Structure 1
Amino acid sequence: MEREGEKSGAVPLLQSSSSSGTASTAQTLGNIIVSIVGTGVLGLPFAFRVAGWFAGSLGVTIAGISTCYCMLLLVQCRDKLASEEESAEVKTYGDLGYKCMGKTGRYVTEFLIFISQCGGSISYLIFIGQNLLSIFKTYKTLTYSAYIFLVVPIQIALSWINSLSSLAPFSIFADICNVLAMALVIKENVEKISGGEFSFKDREAITNNIGGLPFAAGMAVFCFEGFGMTLALEASMKERGRFSKLLAQAFTGITLVYVLFGFFGYMAYGDQTMDIVTLNLPRNWWSIAVQMGLCLGIVFTFPIMVHPIHEIVEGKLKKTKLFQKLPCNAYDNNSTTTLEKLVTYIIRAVLIVGLATLASCVPGFSVFVSLVGSTVCALVSFVLPATFHLKLLGSSLNFWQKALDFCILFCGLIFAAYGTYNSIVGV
């Protein structure tokens, strides 16, 4: 699932190793996979339907390569700062933004991370609402919005757990649900394809609607989540010199799985492919079990996704005069009083209700995911890394390295602008 602290606190396995740099290669690989793979993958078959199987495969591949390259740019930027300033402490994406562009850089970076986390959290709730509505569609007593708000009390209660290590079992459970769901979906797709229920000629390789390409690309970019985890992942590794190779290997495997998942999903259902492929599954016990397992996994992983949002909001609020006027413990100024805890709990509850309200107003999973991928994800994943890289290392780069950075920068801006317009007006 999606995780981030800026997404930094989001990967439980990272907690024990991020500060000391003792994570093994296997642990780091697991953290990379956990950080990147999320619910967006279940929308890839629909993206292939919109763009065509060849254009969709190409788009996912380009998105994967570009994201991996830009993640490595962030590591280069931090290494450059570390070599110039021994006191330079760059732990997060926001820290890097501050070093490159001052307070403005920090605010812009953290704001985009905040919005992307909100987008990911809302997509979780949309997924839960649509799947529960599909499972219980014969019972018309509850609406789509009602199913979303049905899980809100659980989410509020889980959000009051401050220790991310306590949420680790939930994250592991969710990852198991994801793997099983993808395996069962692929099994159903292969059976449907091998049963001769489709004609390959009926599947478009490239859509005639040019607007479908950026729409699908936005979904592909959204699928490669966890960008804000880059610096924490690299710093957590015992053998940091191997991080670049490990990241490339992880992205190669994930990209291949994404392409195959999207391809077989589109091949199986063609023009009938739903924006969440689990909604295409037949009405039998195991498909319902898959959907329920995914929903349950997302319910328990939602606190991990929303945790960075709480951190950012609470961090800002604690600096306000109103919060500082709250009475402190007479014996320990650093301790948290009951009143402070109560205010924190209320703030978290309000945030989750707000996210649920926004999710209930979103018309469709794929449109929303594409919009988030085309805007904040494109800016966070491509525009900012290229900008920071040019700012810090521009003078030492050769012509082709500079050209590539500028290409990523301008293409990212154009993609964000056109992708946003295309997602709003519709494909």
Structure 2
Amino acid sequence: MVFEKEASSSAHVLKIPPFLGEDTPLLAKPGHRHLSSQPKTFANVFIAIVGAGVLGLPYTFKRTGWLMGSLMLFAVALLTYHCMMLLVRTRRKLQDPLVLGLSNLSSFGDLGFAVCGPLGRFSVDVMIILAQAGFSVSYLIFISNTLSHLSDSSSTTRILGLTSKSWYLWGCFPFQLGLNSIPTLTHLAPLSIFADVVDLGAMGVVMVEDVSLFLQRRPALQAFGGLSVFLYGLGVAVYAFEGIGMILPLESEAKDKDKFGKVLGLCMAFISLLYGSFGILGYFAFGVETKDIITTNLGQGWISTLVQLGLCVNLFFTLPLMMNPVYEVIERRFCGSRYCMWQRWVVILGVSLLALLVPNFADFLSLVGSSVCIVLGFVLPALFHLLVFKEEMSWIGMVLDGAIVVLGIVIGVSGTWSSVMEILAPKA
């Protein structure tokens, strides 16, 4: 999805040179604020959460077992919803005229600054940079691996010392330099509809193919993969549901804010069922042969090729949108909120180099989910909520918030270590 996991840590607007900013429909205009109905809010939440992470779920279910993976997925969805609502309640408390009456709390970073000062905003800034850059790295891994698979190139085949994956990645690099140089997102905005259609269409095609293959092959399956892969599966599940950075802006744009929690809950339940079905069907179709990117399990027919190429094109144009919050933070902190092209080029070079070092798509999803996504999605929301409501909360509420913070830190540290070891381990 184009707006998947795109988050900003500040309400500050980038200062764009006049000759570059004549047409900026993505920037809100004073007096032209259109609030979203409940169906539109549902759609916006869906867009903000669902993305490329779903493609790694079948492989994760192979590792964890389909039942263990499903239970883990639904548990993460429930906790993610709870933490999203903690953010919403915290902002509403700070905006209450009888408390502080703060009005400029439109983003996660603004809330962090209101609760913890500069340290709060800095923490959110760092997590958003790492998360968004991590999402972009996973996109490049998907694109290069998928194109290498479609060209039927062996991972050991080298041309001038470079693998086919490296050639495809560096082939995308100059075009990404151009796309990431766009200061506003005006020319990329129309691709959002295309991305949504491609994502949903691709998932539909893959799930239909999975059902057909399962009925033909009926491979051996396992329900539980053991505790040794618990942290691995948890990291991927957290990554798949990461979208908390967009919740405050979406709640601000909701017309009926009293029903935002209900709409968010229904959307999270729907996404959970979609994710669970996609992961289970993918694993059921291929069993132990399930690969880290489920689309590479499909045959070489024209439908499979179109699906994979469509996803590559989608993520290719989505990557600049994912990187935009990174540029917003860097340019706000180091360039006086002014556009800086050379810094963008250096960042996208670093992202490309990192993508070359990580061979497995699902392994990297687990790493990002276990590290920054757990902090951003669980630890910080619970911590901010605890600090704001501590004087009026019951001891049960304080224990619950504290438990989320402590559990998030423990799982984050251990999960990050487990994911790094998985990435470094030799693959068969």
Please, what TM-score do these two structures have when normalized by structure 2? Answer: 0.89
Helix, strand or coil for the counterpart of 2:121?
Answer: helix
Paired with 1:123 and 1:292, the residues of 2 have a C-alpha distance of: 16
Alignment check: 8 A CA contact 2:106 2:249 kept: yes
Following superposition, the deviation at residue 78 of structure 1 comes to 0.4
Q: Which residue of 2 aligns with 1:272?
A: 289
Alignment check: 8 A CA contact 1:152 1:356 kept: yes
Alignment check: 8 A CA contact 2:9 2:110 kept: no
Paired with 1:378 and 1:225, the residues of 2 have a C-alpha distance of: 9
2:144 counterpart (113, 129, 135): 129
What do residues 360-403 of structure 1 show as CA deviations (whole Å, max 9, x unaligned)? 11121111110110010001100111111110012222233222
Helix, strand or coil for the counterpart of 1:283?
Answer: coil
Alignment check: 8 A CA contact 2:232 2:366 kept: yes
Q: Which residue of 2 aligns with 1:370?
A: 366
Q: Which runs of 4+ in 1 moved over 3 A?
A: 12-21, 138-142
Paired with 1:14 and 1:398, the residues of 2 have a C-alpha distance of: 43
Gaps of 5+ in 2: 12-23
2:191 counterpart (163, 170, 174): 170
Q: Which residue of 1 aligns with 2:18?
A: none
Helix, strand or coil for the counterpart of 1:185?
Answer: helix
Paired with 1:148 and 1:171, the residues of 2 have a C-alpha distance of: 23
Query: Where does 1:103-142 land on structure 2 (aligned, <5 Å)?
Result: 103-138=118-153, 141=159
Paired with 1:396 and 1:349, the residues of 2 have a C-alpha distance of: 48
Q: Which residue of 2 aligns with 1:155?
A: 176
1:227 counterpart (238, 244, 251): 244
Paired with 1:242 and 1:159, the residues of 2 have a C-alpha distance of: 37
Q: Which residue of 1 aligns with 2:388?
A: 392
Q: Assess, with a 3 A threshold, how the Cα gap between structure 1 residues 104 and 38 changes in structure 2: closer, same or farther.
A: same
State the percentage of identical aligned residues. Answer: 37
Paired with 1:36 and 1:251, the residues of 2 have a C-alpha distance of: 9
Paired with 2:42 and 2:29, the residues of 1 have a C-alpha distance of: 13
Q: Which residue of 2 aligns with 1:37?
A: 50
Q: Assess, with a 3 A threshold, how the Cα gap between structure 1 residues 103 and 7 changes in structure 2: closer, same or farther.
A: closer
1:287 counterpart (304, 311, 319): 304
Paired with 1:297 and 1:349, the residues of 2 have a C-alpha distance of: 21
**Whose helix proportion is higher, 1 or 2?**
1
Q: Assess, with a 3 A threshold, how the Cα gap between structure 1 residues 411 and 310 changes in structure 2: closer, same or farther.
A: same
Q: Output the amino acid matched with 1:402.
A: M
1:205 counterpart (223, 241, 244): 223
Gaps of 5+ in 1: 321-339
Paired with 1:26 and 1:81, the residues of 2 have a C-alpha distance of: 27
Q: Which residue of 2 aligns with 1:23?
A: 36
What do residues 132-178 of structure 1 show as CA deviations (whole Å, max 9, x unaligned)? 01001248555211211111222222222233243221122122111
Following superposition, the deviation at residue 3 of structure 1 comes to 3.2
Task: Report the aligned-residue RMSD.
Answer: 2.2
Following superposition, the deviation at residue 21 of structure 1 comes to 5.6
Pairs aligned (count): 400
Q: Which residue of 1 aligns with 2:17?
A: none
Please, what TM-score do these two structures have when normalized by structure 1? Answer: 0.89
Q: Which residue of 2 aligns with 1:82?
A: 95
Alignment check: 8 A CA contact 1:94 1:109 kept: yes
